[in-house]
């Protein structure tokens, strides 16, 4: 939703220069999976604060409910039962928008001002500008945005930008009973994560670490993982949600599929090309190509797997 009290860093498909004057702190939500008990208070608070009321669903044979993210379910708990060296672990990950520093959704979006990034790092959808094309869904390396059948607009976690704008923590962080969800300046969150990781290593989780994937420029939702070397254990959390721009540029352009896709997706980037010059555009387009290509590849793999 539109919100005027936060500075906007970038808007989708827009040439207007971003504001430069005010200094804002980069924020982040830290989700410590090792102290999460999967109580879903965060899901409940998200629904309450954001006035979301999904339909009463059904049990599909797991504890996850709603069973997937949706236009009315901006965060869901993902429960994964894994056995490592004979030891059972029930890994419970709060899924939702990662608020990438380099947001694929925003880059892919052709609708002016439908996706914006605030100077504090939050990536927000302004549904009044959304044209329902679904490019954000394709552009997202984490499979987060969902189109609503009710109004054909895309929805996802706003990191409670309305709360953050008035110095309140997101609703999920506010209610988390165990403190597994922390919110604050990104630097402070990293410091806190260090402590948690040290504790986990002492308890035998040698590979404990912070998930702040550099491939998307880092994220404003980070995880402390017991097994940071295997994010895939956590219900398929992306191992490396980005590929080097240089590699992808050439690889992308070399592939006919990518070239074909280029025409389709680059409309929104045209303004960038005009105003900011070829280097910027090349990077933007190349990212989009890469994402399209990877999405297509993943779709193919999925089809193949079936």
Binding site for other proteins (CB under 8 A): 34-41, 43-44, 47-48, 53-63, 65-66, 81, 83, 88-92, 177-180, 196, 199, 202-203
Report the distance separating Cα 100 and Cα 119, nearest Å.
Answer: 12
* Structural contact between residues 125 and 158, judged by C-beta atoms closer than 8 angstroms: yes
Residue 295 parent element (H or E): helix 278-305
Q: Among residues 40 and 107, whose Cβ is nearest to other proteins? A: 40
In this complex, which beta carbon is closest to other proteins, that of residue 15 or of residue 178? 178
Q: How far is the CB of 212 from other proteins (least distance, A)?
A: 21
209 versus 218: smaller Cβ distance to other proteins:
209
Residue 58 CB, nearest approach to other proteins (Å): 5
Centroid of chain to Cα 200:
25
Mapped onto helix, strand or coil, the DSSP state of residue 11 is strand
Minimum gap (Å) between residue 56 Cβ and other proteins: 5
Whole-angstrom Cα distance, residue 289 to residue 255? 10
Q: How far is the CB of 232 from other proteins (least distance, A)?
A: 17
Task: Give least dist CB 163 to other proteins, A.
Answer: 18
Burial level of 149, CB count in 10 A (0-12/13-18/19+)? exposed
User: Residue 261 is encoded by which pair of tokens?
Assistant: 């896709």
Q: Which residue has the tokens 């539109």?
A: 2
* C-beta closer to other proteins: residue 56 or 254: 56
Cβ atoms of 229 and 235 closer than 8 Å: no
Q: With respect to other proteins, which residue has the nearer C-beta, 54 or 278? A: 54
């Amino acid at each position: 939703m539109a919100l005027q009290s936060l500075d906007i860093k970038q808007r989708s498909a827009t040439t207007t220069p971003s504001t430069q004057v005010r200094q804002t702190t980069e924020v982040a939500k830290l989700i410590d999976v090792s102290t999460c008990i999967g109580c879903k208070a965060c899901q409940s608070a998200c629904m309450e604060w954001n006035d979301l009321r999904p339909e009463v669903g059904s049990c599909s044979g797991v504890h996850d409910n709603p069973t997937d993210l949706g236009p009315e379910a901006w965060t869901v708990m993902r429960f994964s039962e894994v056995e490592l060296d004979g030891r059972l672990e029930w890994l419970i990950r709060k899924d939702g928008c990662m608020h990438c520093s380099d947001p694929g959704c925003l880059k892919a979006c052709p609708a002016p001002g439908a996706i914006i990034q605030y100077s504090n790092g939050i990536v927000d959808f302004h549904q009044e500008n959304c044209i329902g094309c679904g490019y954000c869904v394709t552009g997202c390396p984490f499979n987060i945005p969902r189109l609503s059948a009710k109004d054909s607009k895309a929805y996802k976690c706003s990191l409670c930008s309305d709360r953050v704008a008035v110095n309140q923590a997101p609703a999920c962080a506010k209610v988390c009973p165990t403190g597994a969800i922390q919110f604050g300046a990104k630097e402070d969150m990293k410091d806190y994560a260090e402590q948690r990781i040290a504790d986990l290593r002492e308890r035998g989780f040698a590979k404990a670490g912070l998930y702040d994937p550099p491939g998307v420029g880092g994220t404003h939702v980070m995880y402390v993982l017991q097994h940071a070397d295997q994010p895939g254990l956590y219900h398929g959390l992306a191992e490396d949600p980005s590929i080097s721009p240089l590699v992808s540029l050439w690889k992308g352009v070399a592939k006919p599929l990518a070239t074909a896709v280029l025409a389709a997706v680059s409309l929104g980037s045209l303004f960038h090309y005009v105003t900011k010059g070829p280097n910027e555009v090349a990077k933007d387009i190349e990212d989009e190509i890469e994402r399209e290509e990877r999405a297509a590849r993943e779709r193919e793999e999925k089809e193949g797997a079936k």
